[in-house]
Amino acid sequence: MRGTDHSPSTTGPLALSSHPDAVGREPDLLPYEALTEVPDRHGTIIERWAHRLALCDPTAAHAVLADDDRVDTFFLDPLTDIPALRTPADRGNPTWRFYAPRFLPANGAELASTVLHHTVWITTSDGHVHPAPCTPTEHLWWDNGWGDRASEAATVIDTLLDDLGAAVDLREHFNAPKGLVALFNEEHKQGTELNRSPLLQARMRPPRTC
């Protein structure tokens, strides 16, 4: 998925993001969710997702993503319309940088599993892979997650188990089902896949009492 280098452009339909400093202070200015960066790794859930991406000309949103870094190629996810870019290997380990989607296309499908690999990924019953939705100022993680992040991931999964296409709301993530929070608080290896059945079972599990 290599291409020629492009210089980030500040023209295009997302011209409002041509002021990166303003967007950095007010992430809600962009019509996207949390900025996410993951390593480019063969044989992983990341590679499965990346195979779907379509090459495109850079937009102003790509310019904000690039943040003055050299970029290998620019992409668009045709299913969620999120912009993505890939940094070149000659500047260290290549990485994918993208915005998390606001919501996922459902089309009658349901959440099949979640995969934990540098962020939270969703696989669907119709065979697709997506980065999990996440609001602009949050970050999805598991284990200790540098704080109470497990409750945020648990909230996203709780929402998508009921409705794959629902928009997530993390303002009250501390109310996430305790069983799901406990599951995501566990130490999972990169690439761990949690299927729908154990996720549903964890959601029904009552909170532990002392």
Helix 196-204 crosses helix 178-185 at what angle (to 10 degrees)? 120
The Cα 210–Cα 207 span in angstroms is 10
Beta-bridge partner residues of 73: 86
**194 in helix, strand or coil?**
strand
Q: How do residues 130-144 score in pLDDT, each as one tens digit? A: 999 999 888 898 987
pLDDT range class, residue 208, cuts 50, 70, 90: low
Angle at 147 between CA 143 and CA 153, to 5 degrees: 55
DSSP string covering 36-65: EEEE--TTSHHHHHHTT-EE----HHHHHH
Q: How many CA atoms lie within 13 A of 41 on its CB side?
A: 11
Q: How do residues 31-73 score in pLDDT, each as one tens digit? A: 677 899 999 989 999 999 999 999 999 988 888 888 878 887 8
Can you give the residue ranges of every domain in the chain?
32-99, 111-203
pLDDT range class, residue 94, cuts 50, 70, 90: confident
Give residue 24's pLDDT. Answer: 46
Among 83, 68, 77, which Cα is nearest to 105's? 77
| Contact yes or no for 61/83 (Cβ under 8 A) | yes
> Parallel, antiparallel, or unpaired: how do β-strands 35-39 and 54-55 relate?
unpaired
Provide mean pLDDT across the span 96-117. 95
Is this structure's pTM higher than 0.85?
Answer: no
Alpha helices in the chain (DSSP H): 20-25, 45-50, 60-66, 149-162, 178-185, 196-204
Q: How do residues 6-40 score in pLDDT, each as one tens digit? A: 333 333 333 333 444 444 445 455 567 789 999 99
